Amino acid sequence: MSTIIVGTPVVAGLGELFITHGLSKKVVVLFDEHTRKLYGDELLKTLAHQGFQLKELVVPAREASKSFSAAYRLYGSMIEADVDRSWNLLAVGGGVVGDLGGFIAASYYRGIPVIQLPTTLLAMSDSSIGGKVAINHPLGKNLIGFFHLPELVLIDPSYLKTLPQREIYSGMSEVVKYGFIADETFLSFLDLHFKEITELQEPWLTEAVTKSAFIKEDVVEKDFRETSGVRATLNFGHTFAHGLEKLAEYRHLRHGEAVTIGMVCALFLSHNLGYLERISLERGLSLLKKFRFPRGVLKRRFLDIESEVLLENMFSDKKKLDKKLRFVLLKTLGEAFLLDENVENNAVLSAIDEARTFFSGKSVHSR
Ligand SMILES: NC(=O)c1ccc[n+]([C@@H]2O[C@H](COP(=O)([O-])OP(=O)(O)OC[C@H]3O[C@@H](n4cnc5c(N)ncnc54)[C@H](O)[C@@H]3O)[C@@H](O)[C@H]2O)c1
Ligand SMILES: [Zn+2]
């Protein structure tokens, strides 16, 4: 698996770390426009001082950069700069840069090592770990990709200081997810220190990020290629979330926002199908109540959407409506499982209705 290092400043000892890991000090550094502007000069200077040979690449800061055309352009710049198999790629940014950088590293010269330097909470706690790298296809998100584990994941929570509040909440959603699926004590810690963590206060922030990263690494280690159902538990809340993201054209709702709503739906579904006790449902809901959405987003992107429309969009392909949806449910707080049987559409619709009531405070008719 990967070596995960948590520290500030995490790049201070990078030269040494490269040597210990048998990596050459030749690095393609990939940024998006924001991370280049915020951290590029300082980072490149630090690496140059440590004797690194560098080639810098920058992509626009948007989901659309996870595309074949962006990758194709970057391959060209690398070939022109004589980057060969002896080089490594360092991805400095959120999940977009991490996924794109990992994709390029996995394919360039049949694979060069990738080192992840995540700068969003979502990337630190989730996307930089586990080796799933991908670009999007016009027909679907993350459809073209590889399993390509990073050699190193360098986590430095101090990068989060410049991250907008909306992105903090989005990342926090995945952090809370780890509590739900794997660790009840961690869930209680997150509930108790939600405010401190989202205000980036130490030591709570580092504790939350570190714990999340290691839970993810642990889950991935048990089921790297997602064959046994263990890795699939990382998708708690995601079956609902993917439908919401699709309806929001992957633009108007952050991934974590969709996951927060999705986890509320999944908690109700877990309870309604008889797996999760009411008291646990209520504890879970009271934690999820702490998440904030920008004005109008929750209304337009969830409350105003009919449950049937959301359900339809949860299927990856409209022609496959008869295919069964896969749900990750909770047995108890801290223990998730992939449900192996079909769930009646009505049960899914009821869970969505209840989540809507939860977020709006208004009652809806029951099915
Ligand atoms: N590979 C995986 O396992 C995995 C898991 C979850 C999500 N993902 C992918 O991750 C992507 C989403 O990642 P994300 O939420 O990090 O989004 P992102 O990479 O788009 O980053 C969000 C925004 O924050 C900016 N930013 C990054 N670091 C910053 C900093 N320190 N200060 C200020 N601004 C900063 C970015 O430029 C961008 O505008 C999606 O494409 C999703 O598919 C992958
Ligand atoms: Zn996710």
Q: What is the pTM for the complete model shown?
A: 0.96
Query: From ligand 2's centre to the CA of 363, what distance in Å?
Result: 29
- 238 is an active site residue: yes
Question: If you average pLDDT over residues 189-218, what whole number do you get?
Answer: 98
Mutation test of ligand 1: which of 33, 99, 177, 245 has the most ligand atoms closer than 8 Å to its C-beta?
99
Pinpoint the alpha helices (H) of the chain: 14-20, 33-35, 41-49, 68-80, 95-107, 121-122, 165-182, 184-192, 194-198, 204-222, 238-247, 255-272, 278-288, 297-298, 307-314, 345-360
Residues of the chain within CATH 3.40.50.1970 domain(s) are 3-161
Query: What's the pLDDT at 316?
Result: 73
Enumerate the CATH 1.20.1090.10 domain ranges in the chain, comma separated: 164-360
231 is a catalytic site residue:
yes
Q: Is 174 a catalytic residue?
A: yes
Instruction: Read off the pLDDT of residues 216-271 as tens digits, 9 standing for 90 and up.
Output: 999 999 999 999 999 999 999 999 999 999 999 999 999 999 999 999 999 999 99
- The pLDDT score that the predictor gives to residue 319 is 53
Comparing C-alpha atoms, which of 134, 131, 164, 162 is closest to residue 40? 162
How many whole angstroms from 133 Cα to the centroid of ligand 1? Answer: 13
**Region 311-316 average pLDDT:** 90
Q: Name the CATH code of domain 3-161 (choices 3.90.79.10, 3.30.70.100, 3.30.497.10, 3.40.50.1970).
A: 3.40.50.1970
Does 41 have pLDDT greater than 70? yes
Output the CATH code of domain 164-360. 1.20.1090.10
Q: What is the pLDDT of residues 42-98, one digit of tens each?
A: 999 999 999 999 999 999 999 999 999 999 999 999 999 999 999 999 999 999 999
Can you give the pLDDT at residue 318?
A: 52
Task: Answer whether residue 317 shows pLDDT above 80.
Answer: no
